[in-house]
Structure 1
């Protein structure tokens, strides 16, 4: 490597609320030769970042914007309502949209939830971002319904949140440009899908080296089960040898006519 060449890296974008630390740790264990660079971006900018090549892959919220991006759904987030700690909702474990009918429900411009009809009463204006809506909740202006990860991200000591049972849910996915499915992207796909190091895509040539040993064990075990005489050979196992022990055994009858006659005459005479 010359001084002008940059070391290899894998750039991973992620939207607010996603915590990629688990996958980063696994990546560092499996690919210590390639540094993973985190690229935090807003939910509205993440697709442009991927298309420009500023990130190799990214954690996004579904649906994916555009058919040129591939995506693997990973998990679904719980939806909650963020309220002041002295709000009546704070006294229960969960609520429905109907329970918020008398509240002003803020609707930020970057809301990731796909609403058919937002519950509660609408505010006069829509906050630009979720963080702005949370600030308004703290000011006593209303409440806001968001994925639980965003409620945790923008946590405040004077606020709390409760599950909303009938609200839309946000789904997190790994996305990347379909035409740029590189070997490193394949490796990261294997990590988020929970594949072992030997089964990760892009490393398919590694596992066969370990296959013959297991196959050999299976081949040795098969004749013992299918051999019709296997049970007879196992009986003399305490002796030194299966065939020899049987030939010397006077009771087996397999030692030949000569040996059998010598043992039989004295018994008949007595």
Structure 2
């Protein structure tokens, strides 16, 4: 796959907290860090000639060091993922992202280094609340519909790439009246137009909280089952050019 050599998973926050400043370390990265006075032995190619033209003094450009990111993948295998083609689509997303992350180190949550096969977690994301926090960046692929404290979970992970996989029917129900059954609890609920409107309002608020928090900790994308995966991840900032 040609794109594997062209893109990588974005591990830096796409929406920093207000007033937050990154703690950069100087090194041989790609992003500018600072100017410092030229010292004997500095490579001429890093001299900032514009600064010299302004000040008459030589300065060397320094860059942020790029430390390899270790990625731990968590693939949701809870019952709700088995509906409407979400599980199969999520595994396609998983394989694409694993292919991009392999040069930097890929691990599966609770399984160690990735050996070639996905391992969906039947307990769902709630398992992350009681387990030791994974190192590096956690790539969480889920529908995000489990009843749990999502904000606490995401903040506990600290560095996270959240990929939310949902079916179009979940985002925009095509009915006004129905008898719904919860596949995880077995409960039933009779709904009408008012309940559908309430569901859509609550869902929009939930998606906004997930998106905002995840982007402050790393990156986020909402994928609809069946849509082209790579363009959606690029458009939403989960992938970036190498």
Normalised to the residue count of structure 2, the TM-score between the two structures is 0.32
Bigger share in strand: 2
Greater gyration radius: 1
If asked which structure has higher relative contact order (CA below 8 Å, sep 6+), I would say: 2
